[in-house]
Amino acid sequence: MAGIVERIRNIVSANIGAMLDKAEDPEKMLREFLRQAQAGRGEVRDELVDARAELIILERQKRASDEQAQKWGRRAEEAVRAADDELAKQSLRRQKSFEEATAQWAGQIEGQQQSVDNLEAASRQLAERINEAEIKLSSLISRHKAALTTVRVEKVLQGVGEATSAINEFERLEARIDKEEAKAQALAEMSAESVEEKFRALEGGGEDAEIEARLRELKQQMAGAPESTEEAVS
């Protein structure tokens, strides 16, 4: 009994919050606490059954002793009415003996009732601690699941972020290529225009050279042979 009471006292007085703060594995610690509390409650229940049974027996013995005291009291009255003082005295002695026994039973009942009350209080306290631990365990498990879900979501988002970054890098590369292609096209167009201008210049310059040559030739002809030139002109 003493060992059970000590274990129950330790369980009831335990600070679950402080235990959780110090525990490396809070969920495991809570499950172990629940196991001990439920085992203790089972022991308290067994003790409570025995204590109540003992209380019932004590109450029965007290009632029986009280009934005997009353019976011998009635017999003492009968002996007095029969003028048998000696029988009356013997009956009174028996009555007194049973009254003393009844008082002793009453004292034992009081002590036993206190034990029953203490065990019932311990059972209620254990039930409260078990309920508290179950709530904390349920909350802890929910928080753990939520944390795992958050980690998975963050990993997914991180993957999406990495994919988005890769896409953005690809788009930047594509834009740079587009720009380089545009520059190459612009240079090509500018080069084509330059060549075209040169061709036009050459074409224009060739015509002028031919005219200049014809002019010199004409002047030479006119200066060297005026008559033949006139005839050639006619």
Residues in the chain: 234
Task: Residue 76: name the closest of 90, 61, 55 by CA.
Answer: 90
**Residue 166: Cβ-neighbour burial (10 angstroms; 0-12, 13-18, 19+):** exposed
Q: Does 59 reside within a domain? A: yes
For the whole model, what pTM was predicted? Answer: 0.53
Q: In the predicted model, is pLDDT for residue 148 greater than 70? A: no
d(CA 231, CA 226): 9
Q: Does 198 reside within a domain? A: no
Number of domains the chain contains: 1
DSSP label at residue 14: -
Q: Does 6 reside within a domain? A: yes
Q: Does 69 reside within a domain? A: yes
Q: Does 84 reside within a domain? A: yes
- For 71, the domain range is 2-148
Q: Does 153 reside within a domain? A: no
129 contacts 71 by C-beta, under 8 angstroms: no
Q: Does 33 reside within a domain? A: yes
What pLDDT digit, counting tens, does each position of 62-102 carry? 999 999 999 999 999 999 999 999 999 999 999 999 999 99
Q: Does 30 reside within a domain? A: yes
What pLDDT digit, counting tens, does each position of 169-224 carry? 667 777 777 777 777 777 777 766 666 666 565 565 555 667 777 777 777 888 87
Q: In the predicted model, is pLDDT for residue 160 greater than 60? A: no
